[in-house]
A and B are shown apart, each in its own frame.
Chain A
Amino acid sequence: MVSFIIKRVGHSIYIVILVSIVVFVLMRMLPGDPILDLIDQRIEDAIEAGIAMSLEEQDQLRADLMAEHDLDQPIPIQFGRWAMRMLRGDWGRSIGRGYDISTELGNRLAISMYLSAIAMVITLFFGVLFGTICAIRNGKFIDNLVTSVSNFGMTVPGFMIAIVLVYILGFRLQWFPIFRFWLPWQGNPGGSIRHTVLPILTMTLGGIAGLARMTRSTMLDALNADHVRTAWAKGMREKTVILRHVLKNGLMPIISGVGGMIRGLFGGSVIVETIFVIPGVGNMMVMAMLTLDYNVIQAVTVLFTFITVMANLVTDILYGWVDPRIQFS
């Protein structure tokens, strides 16, 4: 068990390192210019202050800015310096805006994690519930209904769900506010919760549909397993058969899907946070992408990868703990 965890942790670290190298190098090979916006802004600032920069001054400014972010160095040296700083816990500064990435990430991650955690719990609960009901009532009305709805639900992109929700619940019915967000412990918890409703619905509806489908199929497999026939043959009643012999076996494969769900939630946060103007990590990432802020893109990618890898690690361990057949070796 311990050696298994050590091995898996090693594997996880290795993946995070690999991803950070690949992203770091790929970004620096792209044709775009990360400090273009920044220089434009400085020049404009200067003009507003009544100073016109000469071309030499502009070139000097560019060279300074490049040097400030190590961009004048060869890529391996840039990476080496970045890695050394990371090891000391320094995530660097935003190229475009100059903020300290780790401070900014800390605040924003709390918000993204908060929303993702709520979305996760809701998705798991309803996805498993609906999927299980479908499997038990296979072919009956409720199964057809839920299956059709989830088939449809899986085809609606997140932003479309968000727009429909905003239009109906936000504009037409005026039940929920359509943008801004703060954490409940940052004051006015009631308002915070009202601001949570639409983002959470957006984050969960598609996931519930997918999970219901997945649960339905694993539950059907579990329902038709030989050992379930044995349970019936032993004279167990339907409730016992399902609760004791089907549910656990049908849910085990779901655990391994949870890692993927977390990956999907963080990927989706990019769009949800953009639509609802939520100051989370995804929002930060979109800004960074649009201005080619290398340092922020690098930081967020590494962070998200780390979270996904950790989620996979935890689900693997959980799986082994639940399924007695898995030997940690």
Chain B
Amino acid sequence: MSTKITNDPNNADNKGPGIGEPFGEQSFEVLTEAPLPPVNEFVRFMKVFCRRKVVVFGLFLVLIVLVAAIFPNQLAPHDPLTINLLRTLEPPSADFLLGTDDLGRCTLSRIIHGSGLAMQVGVATVLVSSVIGTVLGLIAGFGGKFLEELIMRFTDAWISIPGMILIMLMAVILGRGVFGLVLAVALGGFPGYIRLVYGQVMTVKQNDYIMASISMGDSKMRIMFKHILPNCISPMIVTMTMGLGGGVMAEAGLSFIGLGLAPPTPAWGGMTDAGRAHLATLPWLSLAPGMAIVILVFGFNMVGDGIRDALDPKMRGTNN
């Protein structure tokens, strides 16, 4: 790109000025320096994301659990539900790598089969709560004074109930299925998204370019999709990846206190609780499924951290 300044474009025999003589009336071209190579956003994102080893490790952990969740039958050495009362409470052996529980079921197989539930609940709760939260946040931001008051006051009330109590309440109300569980955890988390989207709407609304957009007669819908939503995406993705771990933890907590899926479905939280009875003698019964929870939550959180760093506009073009 260069700017051409010339008073007479036909004047082609331009030999350039002598010493101390400006280009003056003749043509003068601002030279273009070899530009710095353009930053490829994706490459930059991956570079920042992969910079911390622990983030990559987190991603690796998540992928392991994901593989276990997709191929539980291929990976698990035994059927997770088969009861064998002749071989209860066995210590780890070649046959049962993590021993058996008080009904003779293979702990390792149960953990592998539980990964599907944990993943599903984590992902589904985040999707459900972010969708509900976004829609309500947008309605609160754009739907006029009455809806705004209604939704935001309701949100205030919702987040005044201690989180675990709220999720437990929802779980009791919605019943013991996967659907009820997901919805319960999601309903515990969606006010966060409402506040996020609503806050974003309020901030963006103040911007001059929205004023310009409104003054040019753009519709609310257009402003919403063209300006507000794109602005929400970064914080949204960060909150969502962080929410994955939260969802897994909340589900585990529920099944730990006995409000999760009904037995015998293998759930990590429930297994941790069931193993507690034998903690003194057979600690792995409780610790192994507990570690599985920690591994998945840690993985999700680290991936979230990495994404946050990579999306942080303050981190653009810096090394820190």
Contacts and interface: CB of A to CB of B under 8 A. Distances in A.
**Do chains A and B make direct contact within the complex (CB under 8 angstroms)?**
yes
B205 interface: no
Interface stretch (A71-79, A80-88, A261-269): A261-269
Contacts of B166: 267
Contacts of B252: 157, 159
A309 B160 contact: yes
A158 B276 CA distance: 14
Contacts of A27: 169, 172-173
Nearest to B172: A289
B259 interface: yes
B169 A297 contact: yes
Interface string A247-291: 000000000000000011011101100110000000001100110
B226 interface: no
Interface in B283-298: 283, 286-287, 290-291, 293-294, 297-298
Interface string B245-262: 100010011001111000
Interface stretch (A117-125, A161-169, A191-199): A161-169
A263 B169 contact: no
Given A163-B287, A290-B258, A285 B157 contact: no
A154 to B, nearest CB: 7
A15 interface: yes
Interface stretch (A16-24, A48-56, A103-111, A317-325): A16-24
Q: DSSP class of B's interface residues: helix, strand, loop or mixed?
A: helix
Contacts of B154: 18
A15 B165 contact: no
A286 B273 CA distance: 14
Nearest to A152: B298
A308 B160 contact: yes
B279 A167 contact: yes
A155 B245 contact: yes
A263 B280 CA distance: 33
B163 A301 contact: no
Contacts of B283: 167, 171
Contacts of B173: 26-27, 29-30
Contact of A151 (B165, B287, B305): B305
Q: DSSP class of A's interface residues: helix, strand, loop or mixed?
A: helix
Contacts of B269: 159
Nearest to B256: A159
B272 interface: yes
Contact of B169 (A15, A23, A163, A308): A23
A2 interface: no
A264 B302 CA distance: 22
A242 interface: no
B164 A31 contact: no
Contact of B160 (A30, A164, A305): A305
A326 to B, nearest CB: 19
B172 A292 contact: yes
A115 interface: no
Contact of B153 (A18, A30, A155, A157): A18
B270 to A, nearest CB: 11
B15 to A, nearest CB: 53
Given A163-B286, A167-B283, A271-B253, A151 B302 contact: yes
A157 B253 contact: yes
B166 to A, nearest CB: 8
A300 interface: yes
Contact of A300 (B156, B165, B257): B165
B294 A163 contact: no
B92 to A, nearest CB: 16
Interface string B223-261: 000000000000000000000010001001100111100
Nearest to A19: B157
Contacts of A309: 160
A304 interface: yes
B210 interface: no
B168 interface: yes
Contacts of B168: 270, 285-286, 289
Contacts of A15: 153, 156-157, 160
A263 B54 contact: no
Interface in A11-67: 11, 14-16, 18-19, 22-23, 26-27, 29-32
A151 B301 contact: yes
- With a 10 A CB-CB cut-off, give which of A156, A160, A166 has the most chain B CB atoms: A160
B298 to A, nearest CB: 4
Interface in B49-100: 54
B161 interface: yes
A31 B173 CA distance: 8
Contacts of A158: 253
A159 B274 CA distance: 12
A171 B165 contact: no
B317 to A, nearest CB: 17
Interface of B: 54, 153-154, 156-157, 159-166, 168-169, 172-175, 245, 249, 252-253, 256-259, 269, 272-273, 276, 279-280, 283, 286-287, 290-291, 293-294, 297-298, 301-302, 305
Interface of A: 11, 14-16, 18-19, 22-23, 26-27, 29-32, 148, 151-152, 154-160, 163-164, 166-167, 171, 263-264, 266-268, 270-271, 274-275, 285-286, 289-290, 292, 297, 300-301, 304-305, 308-309, 312
Q: Which 7 residue pairs are nearest across A and B when measured between Cβ atoms? A: A267-B162, A267-B164, A155-B298, A18-B157, A155-B297, A160-B290, A266-B162
Given A31-B175, A155-B298, A308-B160, 7 more contacts: A15-B156, A19-B157, A26-B173, A157-B256, A160-B294, A163-B276, A270-B165
